[in-house]
Amino acid sequence: MTYRYIGRQPIIDTRAKIVAYDLLYREKGYSESTDITASVINNLLDALNVETILGKNLGFLRVDREFFNQETIHSLPKDKIVCALLANTLIDETLLERLLFLKKEGYQFALSDSLYTHETAKQISPLLPFIHYLKIDVIQSDLALVKESLSIFHRYGIKLIGAKIETHEMYELCRSIGFDYFQGYFISEPNIIKNAVISPEHEGILRIWTLLQQDTEIPELVDAFQSNQALAIKLLHFINSAAFSLRNTVSSIEQVLKLIGRDPLAQWIMLMMFSEEGKSSNARVPLVLMVMNRTELMSGLLSLIKPTATREEKSTAYFVGMLSLIHLLFHIPQKEILTKLNVAPAIEKALYSGEGLYGELLDLVHSIELFDIESIEAYLKTKGLAYNNIEPLLHQTMEKVNAFENEMEG
């Protein structure tokens, strides 16, 4: 059986808004980094609707030079896919003539993960008039030289993408140099701010969330919501929206509590807090989408691995996914924020030490996010599963995240 592994990593602009995804693709029998041939990309196009994985964003797809001589390139949507040449591609007149022809037809090109030094700058200079994006490995490149070369890149209308950015310090440095776009694991790393505090509004929301996790009586919950009028109004607006299609309008918090239950309400409160922050600050948009992606995967994977999972167990998996990222929202250490929440021991063990089934699922989700195929396969094997068992879930999750992104910006 043929297995196709498809992943994506976000590329953001200077406002921290997602503008594109770097497409990661591997098929059994091929190496993702060296054998991006026409037949492999044909299989990719057969396996996946481009809209499913990209939504409204661009996609960068690594290709080898032989790909440009195949008819497959005409199957790619010009407005959605950027063909990214591998950094070690042989640059000669034959390639440049072909790129010129295709560029006139409207295709877009990039040079992927280039090491930019005095030596490589000379090697890639013939390619500059033909590419739209230059993705630079910021770890191994001469960033001072990159800054000196900005006028050259601007002359050709080339956008710079900083790749392999792992820290917020490197992100800020690349911004100051003049990079246009940024990619790397820094997006999911905490940016701890000294003396950061949780706002009174968020303190109130976290208190309500904690009450929902406890066996708090409904009258006390109603009082807590009514003391936070802004949250109560948003909740009533949400419950009366088209998402529920209720025959009669709900007009009280007590009705809401009885109608949708504690766990779904607690999930809504947390997701609302992330999404509200995302709307107020573009810098939070990737985080909100990460939360959506991680929670969907956590609850979905639990259902696949443990089909008999109860609603309570699925809710716990959802919260583990969400709480694994909550410290990024507040810019304070994870343990500090979790001490304010009354989390169950199973959640605490999963988040702090990766123990138990929820810890295993969180590790699996991390592997999916990092496109660590070997780790994914190794874990699934212990559960008697294969990649094709989780592939539909991955695609469904991408579609949900894309739809959520559109709603946030709509």
Clarify whether residues 178 and 296 are in a common domain: no
**What pTM does this model have?**
0.74
- What is the tens place of the pLDDT at every residue in 124-180? 999 999 999 999 999 999 999 999 999 999 999 999 999 999 888 899 999 999 999
Q: Is residue 326 domain-resident? A: yes
Q: Is residue 388 domain-resident? A: yes
User: At residue 298, does pLDDT exceed 90?
Assistant: yes
CATH number for the domain that contains residue 109: 3.20.20.450
DSSP annotation of 73 reads G
Q: Is residue 237 domain-resident? A: no
- The phi, psi pair for 400, rounded to 5°, reads -65, -40
How close are the terminal C-alpha atoms of the chain, in Å?
Answer: 41
Predicted local confidence at residue 379, as pLDDT:
96
* Polymer length of the chain: 410
Clarify whether residues 165 and 306 are in a common domain: no
Domain count within the chain: 2
- What is the tens place of the pLDDT at every residue in 46-63? 655 777 788 889 999 888
Clarify whether residues 279 and 169 are in a common domain: no
Q: Is residue 384 domain-resident? A: yes
Q: Are 355 and 349 in contact (CB under 8 A)?
A: yes
- C-alpha span between 312 and 245 (Å, rounded): 25
Q: Is residue 174 domain-resident? A: yes
Q: How confident is the model at residue 222 (pLDDT cuts 50, 70, 90)?
A: confident
Residue owning tokens 């909550």: 326
Q: Is residue 251 domain-resident? A: no
Predicted local confidence at residue 3, as pLDDT:
56
Q: Of 153, 188, 223, which residue is a domain's last?
A: 188
What are the structure tokens assigned to 364, written together? 């699996």
- Domain residues for the domain of 366 are 210-215+262-267+275-409
Clarify whether residues 290 and 405 are in a common domain: yes
What are the structure tokens assigned to 178, written together? 């003049």
Clarify whether residues 42 and 172 are in a common domain: yes
- The phi, psi pair for 16, rounded to 5°, reads 65, 30
Q: Where are the alpha helices (DSSP H) in 136-243?
A: 143-148, 150-155, 168-177, 200-213, 218-226, 229-239
Q: How confident is the model at residue 190 (pLDDT cuts 50, 70, 90)?
A: very low
Cβ count within 10 A of residue 200: 9
Q: Is residue 253 domain-resident? A: no
Q: Is residue 11 domain-resident? A: yes
